[in-house]
Amino acid sequence: MKAHIDRGSNYDLVIDTSHISMEEVVEDVLDKMRRVSEKV
């Protein structure tokens, strides 16, 4: 199962949730968003 989040900007976030818990997915998303916002 894949979760696809489109922020409407230049990047797409694709998370593979088949082997990780929801908590880890949320952590991963927040981490990626943090890194993206640092680049901008």
- Residue 34 pLDDT: 92
- Residue 23 pLDDT: 82
DSSP 9-39: SS-EEEEE-SSS-HHHHHHHHHHHHHHHHHH
CB burial string 2-36: b at 16+ within 10 A, e below? eeeeeeeeeeeeebeeeeeeeeeeeeeeeeeeeee
* pLDDT per residue as tens, the chain (40 positions): 455 555 555 455 555 556 667 788 788 889 999 998 887 7
